[in-house]
Amino acid sequence: MTTDTARHVPDRLDSPLRSAVFSWEMLLVLVAVAIFIVNSISSPYFLNAWSLSDLTFNFTEKGLIALAMALLIIAGEIDLSVAAIIALASTLMGMALQAGADTPLLVAIGIGVGLLCGAFNGLLVTRLGLPSIVVTIGTMSLFRGIAYIILGDQAYKGYPQNFAFFGQGYVGWVISFELTLFLAAAVVFWFLLHRTSFGRAVFAIGNNPVASAFSGVRVERVKFILFLLTGLMSGIAAVLITSRLGSTRPSIAQGYELEVITMVVLGGVNILGGAGSILGVVLAAFIMGLVTFGLGLMNVPGIVMSIFVGLLLIAVIALPIIWSRFRERRA
Amino acid sequence: MKALAKNRETWLLAAIALLVAVIALRFPAFARPGNLLSVFNDTSILIILALGQMAVILTRSIDLSMASNLAFTGMAVAMTNAAYPEIPVVLLIVMAMAVGTALGALNGALVWKLGIPPIVVTLGTLTIFRGATFVLSGGAWVNADQMSQGFIALPRTAILGLPMLSWFAIAAIAAFHLLMTRTALGRSIYAAGINPTAAVYAGIDVGRTKFLAFCLSGMVAGLSGYLWISRYVIASVEVANGYELSIIAACVIGGVSIAGGIGSVAGAGLGALFLGIIGSALPVINISPFWQLAISGSAIILAVVLNARGERRQGRIILRRAEA
Amino acid sequence: MLHHPHPAHVVRDPPHEGEGGASLLTLSGVSKSFPGVRALSGVSLSLYPGEVTALVGENGAGKSTLVKILTGIYQPDEGEIRIGGAPVKLPTAHAAFEQGITAIHQETVLFDHLTVAENIFLGHAPRTWLGTIDWRTMRDNAREVLETMGAGIDPDALLSDLGIANKHLVAIARAMSIDARIVIMDEPTAALSAKEIEELFLLIEFLKSQKKAILFISHKFDEIFRIADRYTVFRDGQMVGEGLLAGTTQNQLVRMMVGRAVDQIFPERQPKIGAPLLAVSGLSHPTEFDDISFELRQGEILGFYGLVGAGRSEVMQAIAGMTRVSRGTITLGRREIAPKSAADAIDAGIVYVPEERGRQGVVIGLPIFQNVSLPSLKRTSKSGVLRLAEEFRLARTYTERLDLRASSLSQDVGTLSGGNQQKVVIAKWLATEPKVIILDEPTKGIDIASKAAVHGFMAELVAEGLSVIMVSSELPEILGMSDRVVVMREGRMVAIRENRDLDAETLVRFAAGIAP
């Protein structure tokens, strides 16, 4: 072992630059660039500001949830109910619409329902000490189930004109409101996770919840806040999706939870907790958008795209493992 | 008697009996043996799937890809049947189980040989298998008129008054009971889940055990692929979409601990039956079927709360020991 | 190369004459390295049928690596294992099991939700003609084995319903059932009561009568001299002595273990004890402890002695806010406090350095500096925003004081040795600048050099006016470091005395409940 005398323990060994070059995020950047190039070569329509702008709609809503989900998974928990929260929030927004609510109230209801659902998950997990994977499988059925009870096979339509801005509007030129919101949220979550003591607590809890509690981290409170944040982002996503589609059905956002989790894992977040970065998640969101959009340009149906996403998920985790085995064997 | 009262399965059975009794108060026809048997028949596929999922969860893993496996295998046998109607159905069933096992083995190998967490592996194969179903079929459906008579008739053929579909479920229950309680593999599955470290010391290869559990879940998913298609007489890419969560729900309600090591064939079967009864009862008692999802969600939450109460860890209880 | 010469300093008894012949198991020249650590280098060990060999050594001496090699979990890099004279390979746990080697571990390696019978026969259950498990025969065989041992355990009982002592019996029954020739007992008495230990010793006598070769790993010398016939001493991954226990003294063994005389490892200090700082009065918990009252004074080291499981950690965790109490008060300075979490206690100025370093102390996966700053984040951050420079400064200050050996402060704390991890653990709580620091078994499982560093550091702390509570089960540590000592037994305080009025025997009597 290379140990120094105590007097000279340096703060860091590697330079920040060196660790950045050999990081997961760099790998994701390379993958993104590769897909970008392939897309540009294979379709003449790809390299066009409006195409690229359309591309972002593929991931902004899921990406918003993925930001919060990343923190939750780093802390060692998971929320499978996010898509169901969207369904319930959207349904209740539709109900409010029928009762004559205006746009600000609709947004408030969407976000409020998200927060309430998140709080419900958080209470079950932290107060009763239940495993979040099972709790949220339950609430996933419950939340969407309530949406079905309210709506059945009906749909709410006729959202007000100015409500459409959130999911369809542009801030300027080709920059959509959704993309702007996603990037702003990414900055906020990056700051929260990597630059605040709350974020540090998230990492600590994910690596060792017991030692964290002994160290004065309020583990239950942090976890509760994380569920609340995930609920909040799901509520915001519900507003965006409802606005973009202009209608609500109880089957809205079906299967989103798995795509969100794929995004998070692809972004380098350890599914077992304790490690991950917001930059990685943002890059993964872009990659998934690029893949889906690129395949779409090549007229590959959506369901086939999912094969690529699934393969990508397994490959990015398997390849480093295979590579390190290979190197060990040669060493 | 005391052991019986401590038993999760007993409580679940009592809950089911109570549920049936309450429904029967208003709608006596529901509790008629004939109707109950048909409820069982309707639940058969969920029961079979839950048994495979149970084996996987017992080893501290999870299989999210079962429904996609079912869709792929179902499409594969349906297309084979449409193209070669002369192939006997028995052979198709063997084929379904083989294809399902192969897909399960793929999951298992990734978990065993590469050490990737099961939730990640099966999240990936969940989308891959369903996408592959589309590639296989080109997005087309296989309809009733393309399937052979024997293919469609088999699950409906009554033997001793019970349709073959029910017999499949009964056989699966018996086979899994035997497997889990009477074979080295079954006991290894429990041991690997209860205490993986100790299992290694007892000479059990934990990784291999997980692999075999995934093969089992794949096999029942494949079998269910045939059963599903032949029962609902349509094969499409959308078959059983999202059903993986119902399967897990059946296990959770049946007292299978997501942390591994705890659970039984009876529990998983009863958990599935509980969901099946609710599904069948809703139209009878004039509640919109749209209630089903919310009710099963509440049942899952209730089940996990109750299970957790039984498993809560206690302190050392130093004082009581001193007084004793 | 196979027969490694022993290092020159190895203490060897003369060849064993006329006492039952050849060894059953022989290890020679066995080495094992892990990245950065040489866990075993060229060790040898012999086990004899019908005899108990005690393996002694400090934690980190290589004992657990040896056990893992013998049970097929690890593969030695070099060296040879012979059983009954023939060289064997143990590539898997199953291979070791088939060679008749079985281990009874510290944390019993059994299966909670399975029955006793199945725990005994898992992996080698009797089969029916169909190849399925024959439960009836299994149950009968289990009952038979348990009866031969004189253990009244129901084979159908679930293991989770048994106490630790009975779990050990099941483990031994398992060894009997596979007709093990070699039984490894890795600190089997750690969690047992005195009565249960006696029962275990009866069983070991029984195993000896069955001509089993037994490897007995323990830290407790009284037990070793009670039950073992031979000893083997490991130090820093090397075998440094072996022989017959008869005619060997405890001091000789200890000297081999530590490589020097044991006296004078504790720092000299002139205690400057001030006014009472912490007053605990009538503290009670529904199930764990009752009516605990004591005072801790400024600049004092208050030792808490007792047997494992006497409730000392539980009391300390209550004072540190980790568990709730049913009754009683805690007063710090003039203010009564009722911490509801560790965070509350840290804010008040009381920190608890937990016993289980890996589980409760370090956050493996985070770098050293983040471990150190974790309880002090409120101070190193500004309105919730991290300030890395502050964190590094804090980490540097405290790790340097503790003489931490590491290549950088950004290194994952999991890559450090046990002793250095313990230094990080102490540093992290000390960095909160507490008024009272509670150290729970501060030197458990760390090497001698780190132990001395920790003790020296404690002396410095109290000299600076900090007040220390030290929970320890090691008599020399209690007597060498404390100003006053509280003794607990079965959740209650049984004595509080000035250290100068105490000796080892008195302490043991109090802790064991034997009237003086």
Q: Do C125 and B194 touch (CB under 8 A)?
A: no
> Which one is predicted more confidently, C447 or A183?
A183
β-strand partners of C56? C233
pLDDT digits (tens, 9 = 90+) for C336-382: 999 999 999 999 999 999 988 888 999 998 999 999 999 999 888 89
Query: What is the 3-state composition of chain A as percent helix, strand, coil, each rounded to the nearest 5?
Result: 75, 5, 25
Q: Do C322 and A213 touch (CB under 8 A)?
A: yes
Distance from CA of C347 to the nearest CA of A (A): 9
What letter represents residue C261's amino acid? A
Is the distance from CB of C203 to CB of C169 less than 8 angstroms?
Answer: yes
In the structure, what pLDDT confidence band is assigned to residue C177 with cuts at 50, 70 and 90? confident
Q: Do B290 and A148 touch (CB under 8 A)?
A: yes
| Model confidence at B247: pLDDT above 80 | yes
pLDDT digits (tens, 9 = 90+) for C299-317: 999 999 987 778 899 999 9
Q: Do A138 and B297 touch (CB under 8 A)?
A: yes
B59 HSE (CA, 13 A, CB side): 34
Q: Do C386 and A196 touch (CB under 8 A)?
A: yes
What domain range includes position C289? 263-344+469-516
B152 HSE (CA, 13 A, CB side): 13
Instruction: State the CATH number of the domain containing residue C511.
Output: 3.40.50.300
Residue C15: the pLDDT is: 44
Strand C484-489 to C292-297 pairing: unpaired
Q: Do B248 and A255 touch (CB under 8 A)?
A: no
The residues in B 256-275 lying below 8 A from C, measured between CB atoms, are 261-262
ipTM: 0.84
pLDDT digits (tens, 9 = 90+) for A179-214: 999 999 999 999 999 999 999 999 999 999 999 999
H-state helical runs in C352-417: 368-373, 377-380, 388-401
Q: Do B297 and A128 touch (CB under 8 A)?
A: no
Chain A touched by B27 (CB under 8 Å) = no
Contacts of C439 in chain A (CB under 8 A): none
Mean pLDDT of A284-302: 85
Chain C touched by B160 (CB under 8 Å) = no
Whether C17 is covered by a domain: the verdict is no
pLDDT digits (tens, 9 = 90+) for C28-69: 999 988 765 678 889 999 999 999 999 987 666 788 889 889
In the structure, what pLDDT confidence band is assigned to residue A8 with cuts at 50, 70 and 90? low
Question: Average pLDDT of chain B?
Answer: 89
Map out the domains of chain B as residue ranges.
34-306
Q: Give the span between the Cα atoms of A121 and A132, in whole angstroms.
A: 8
pLDDT digits (tens, 9 = 90+) for B128-160: 999 999 999 998 999 989 999 989 999 999 899
Q: Which residue of A has its CA nearest to B302?
A: A138
> Which one is predicted more confidently, A328 or A188?
A188
Chain C touched by B320 (CB under 8 Å) = yes
| Model confidence at C500: pLDDT above 90 | no
Chain C touched by B200 (CB under 8 Å) = yes
Chain B touched by C352 (CB under 8 Å) = no
Chain A touched by C383 (CB under 8 Å) = no
Q: Give the span between the Cα atoms of C240 and C225, in whole angstroms.
A: 19
The residues in C 471-490 lying below 8 A from B, measured between CB atoms, are 490
DSSP assignment, residue C470?
Answer: E
C221 and C285 co-located in one domain: no
Chain B touched by C125 (CB under 8 Å) = yes
- For residue A166, what are the contacts with CB-CB under 8 A and spacing of at least 6? A107, A177, A178, A239, A240, A243, A244
- The top-scoring range by mean pLDDT among B216-220, C191-195, C441-445 is B216-220
Q: Is the dihedral of CA A216, A218, A223, A226 positive or negative?
A: negative
Point out the residue among B201, B319, B322 whose CB comes nearest to the CB of C103. Answer: B201
The C11-12 sheet, strands edge to edge: C11-12, C238-244, C230-235, C52-56, C213-217, C182-186, C101-104
The CATH-assigned architecture of domain B34-306 is Orthogonal Bundle (1.10)
Q: Do A211 and C411 touch (CB under 8 A)?
A: no
User: What's the length of chain A?
Assistant: 331
Residue A111: the pLDDT is: 97
The candidate with the shortest Cα–Cα distance to A72, out of A285, A319, A257, A297, is A257
| Model confidence at C18: pLDDT above 50 | no
Residue A27: the pLDDT is: 85
Point out the residue among C112, C286, C490 whose CB comes nearest to the CB of B194. Answer: C112
Q: Give the span between the Cα atoms of C428 and C412, in whole angstroms.
A: 15
Residue B323: the pLDDT is: 43
Chain C touched by A190 (CB under 8 Å) = no
Question: Average pLDDT of chain A?
Answer: 88
C-alpha torsion B228→B232→B237→B239, nearest 10: -60
H-state helical runs in A43-81: 49-56, 60-74
Contacts of A216 in chain C (CB under 8 A): 341-343, 345-347, 374-375, 432
Mean pLDDT of A308-316: 82
Chain A touched by B295 (CB under 8 Å) = yes
Residue C262: the pLDDT is: 47
The residues in C 279-318 lying below 8 A from A, measured between CB atoms, are none
Q: With helix as H, strand as E and coil as C, how does chain B read?
A: CHHHHHCHHHHHHHHHHHHHHHHHHHCHHHHCHHHHHHHHHHHHHHHHHHHHHHHHHHCCCCCCCHHHHHHHHHHHHHHHHHHCCCCCHHHHHHHHHHHHHHHHHHHHHHHHHHCCCHHHHHHHHHHHHHHHHHHHHCCCCECHHHCCHHHHHHHHCEECCEEHHHHHHHHHHHHHHHHHHHCHHHHHHHHHHHCHHHHHHCCCCHHHHHHHHHHHHHHHHHHHHHHHHHHHCCECCCCCCCHHHHHHHHHHHCCCCCCCCCCCHHHHHHHHHHHHHHHHHHHHCCCCHHHHHHHHHHHHHHHHHHHHHHHCCCCCCHHHHHHC
| Model confidence at B241: pLDDT above 80 | yes
> Which one is predicted more confidently, A257 or B311?
A257
Residue C2: the pLDDT is: 39
β-strand partners of C496? C486
Element (H, E) at C12: strand C11-12
C251 and C269 co-located in one domain: no
Radius of gyration for the alpha carbons in chain B, expressed in angstroms and rounded:
21
The residues in C 110-149 lying below 8 A from A, measured between CB atoms, are none
The candidate with the shortest Cα–Cα distance to B224, out of B162, B172, B160, B146, is B172
The region of weakest confidence among A131-145, A248-262, B168-182, C97-111 is: C97-111
C-alpha torsion C307→C312→C314→C315, nearest 10: 160
DSSP assignment, residue C34?
Answer: E
Mean pLDDT of B16-29: 89
Residue C60: the pLDDT is: 64
> Which one is predicted more confidently, C161 or A225?
A225
* CA separation, residue C221 to residues A11, C354, C513 (Å): 43, 26, 20
C152 and C243 co-located in one domain: yes
Q: Give the end of a domain, one of C258, C273, C288.
A: C258
Mean pLDDT of C420-428: 90
Best mutation target among B103, B243, B290, B311 (most A Cβ atoms within 10 Å) is B290
Chain C touched by B315 (CB under 8 Å) = yes
Q: Which residue of B has its CA nearest to A120?
A: B301
In the structure, what pLDDT confidence band is assigned to residue C513 with cuts at 50, 70 and 90? confident
Whether C43 is covered by a domain: the verdict is no
Q: Give the span between the Cα atoms of C484 and C300, in whole angstroms.
A: 8
Both tokens of residue A44?
Answer: 């003449």
Is the distance from CB of A122 to CB of A227 less than 8 angstroms?
Answer: yes
Distance from CA of B318 to the nearest CA of C (A): 5
Is the distance from CB of B298 to CB of A139 less than 8 angstroms?
Answer: no
Number of domains present in the structure of chain C: 2
Question: Average pLDDT of chain C?
Answer: 85
Map out the domains of chain A as residue ranges.
64-254
End-to-end CA distance of chain B: 26
Distance from CA of B93 to the nearest CA of C (A): 25
The region of weakest confidence among C128-137, C182-191, C273-282 is: C182-191
Mean pLDDT of A297-321: 81
C250 and C293 co-located in one domain: no
Residue B317: the pLDDT is: 62
> Which one is predicted more confidently, A16 or B204?
B204
| Model confidence at C134: pLDDT above 80 | yes
C194 and C314 co-located in one domain: no
Q: Give the span between the Cα atoms of B15 and A22, in whole angstroms.
A: 56
C101 and C239 co-located in one domain: yes
Q: State the residue for tokens 């339950």.
A: A138
Q: How many CB atoms lie within 10 A of CB C271?
A: 15
| Model confidence at B211: pLDDT above 70 | yes
pLDDT digits (tens, 9 = 90+) for A68-120: 999 999 999 999 999 999 999 999 999 999 998 899 999 999 999 999 999 99
C307 and C273 co-located in one domain: yes
H-state helical runs in C228-289: 250-258
pLDDT digits (tens, 9 = 90+) for C454-485: 898 899 899 988 999 999 987 788 888 999 99
List subunits contacting chain C, requiring 3 or more Cβ pairs under 8 Å: A, B
Point out the residue among A11, A196, A211 whose CB comes nearest to the CB of C408. Answer: A11
Residue A20: the pLDDT is: 67
C155 and C195 co-located in one domain: yes
Mean pLDDT of A309-320: 81
Q: Do B293 and A258 touch (CB under 8 A)?
A: no
Residue A51: the pLDDT is: 80
C236 and C306 co-located in one domain: no
> Which one is predicted more confidently, C88 or A11?
C88
Contacts of C324 in chain B (CB under 8 A): none
Distance from CA of B85 to the nearest CA of A (A): 28
